[in-house]
Amino acid sequence: MNKRSSGWWQAVTSGLIVLVLIFSPLAAPSLAADNAAATPTDAAKDSLNRLLAGATPMGIADLKAMQAHVRSLTDQLMKCTVGVEVGQAQGSGVIISKDGYVLTAAHVAGKANRTVHFFMADGTKRDGKTLGLNRTLDAGLMKIDDASDLPFAEMGTSNKVNEGQWCLAMGHPGGYQSDRKPVLRLGRVLAIKGEESITTDCTLVGGDSGGPLFDMQGKVIGINSRIATSLTANMHVPVNTFQETWDRLKKAEEWGHYPGQTPWLGVRGEEGATEAKLARVDSDSPGEKGGLKAGDIIIKFDGVTITDFSSLSAEVQKCQPGANVPVEVKRGEEIIKKTIKIGRKE
């Protein structure tokens, strides 16, 4: 089968699986069309495992086997998927511990220590707060207040994800709706970019952001992040990102900037200085427009004490372009307060 016909067959089988999932009777069929045994044979199990790893279904029996498997996971995965409301923004999240830690997208959380309303799959509403944010990779952590013994999904290992393998995306497209459960999308992994992103053909729309991407064993392998140039190319934050930065996220640290939104102050530090002393302020930069001058020593930036130029750079990287940031400057013996509008690096 050539590459073009292979792609055509994969598209057809993906569509057939969706149709089978929608239109088949609710009773889950056996793994083989003519096999009446209640327990699948070893051969049937091996066949199903190959399918879930990315093999192309070759007939109705394969489609029914996948359908039965997806149905066996769906109820539990729905219980773990929550609607999220932060201010006026709505998105999704997934509970990954019985005491209520929730993975989401950084752009859904917005900032640390904000109030969150969580909408559970059974329609109940619970409160919590946002924790840490890795804006560069769009990873965010939240926590449900006073939680115990909640249903949760186990985190998988995203660095073992393979192109072509089947996956399941869940979320609340358009935002949480009380008369609708979380929506499930079946698809395949299209591409993997290290720890930066997983791309799938599980269609996402507004409101799905922050929802989980599961492997076919029901483990979280990613978090819905954004739509690429096509609705059929959707990006997810690899779950390993959360695991590797868990302590920082749990402590409500914020770092990085959203893709394409690199913050810019336009200053240079004096080489060898033990303080954040400015050697240069670029012409027409946010720093110049905000009143900074060469020789100034930055002592506070957005309420954070600045000890050297590296700590200043780190705080600038936490900002979003367009934000108005209070800055305290030592100029000679005088302490001056400024407000600087952060720019965007072109």
The catalytic residue positions are 107, 138, 209
Q: CA distances (Å), 216 to each of 26, 52, 70, 213, 268, in order?
A: 20, 6, 8, 10, 50
CA atoms in the 13 A half-sphere facing the CB of 286:
22
d(CA 235, CA 70): 22
Tokens in use for 43?
């051969």
With both helix axes pointing from N to C terminus, report the angle between 60-80 and 42-52 in degrees, rounded to the nearest 10. 70
Residue type present at position 21: L
Angle at 214 between CA 210 and CA 217, to 5 degrees: 160
Cα torsion through 222, 224, 226, 231, rounded to 10: 100
Angle, vertex CA 59, rays to CA 55 and CA 65, nearest 5: 70
Residue 310: DSSP 8-state? H
Q: Which residues contact 329 (CB under 8 A, 6 or more apart)?
A: 292, 296, 297, 298, 299, 335, 336, 337, 338
CA distances from 57 to 23, 25, 142, 200, 206 (A): 18, 20, 38, 18, 31
Compute the distance between CA of residue 166 and CA of residue 196 in angstroms, rounded to an integer: 20
- Classify 184 as helix, strand or coil: strand
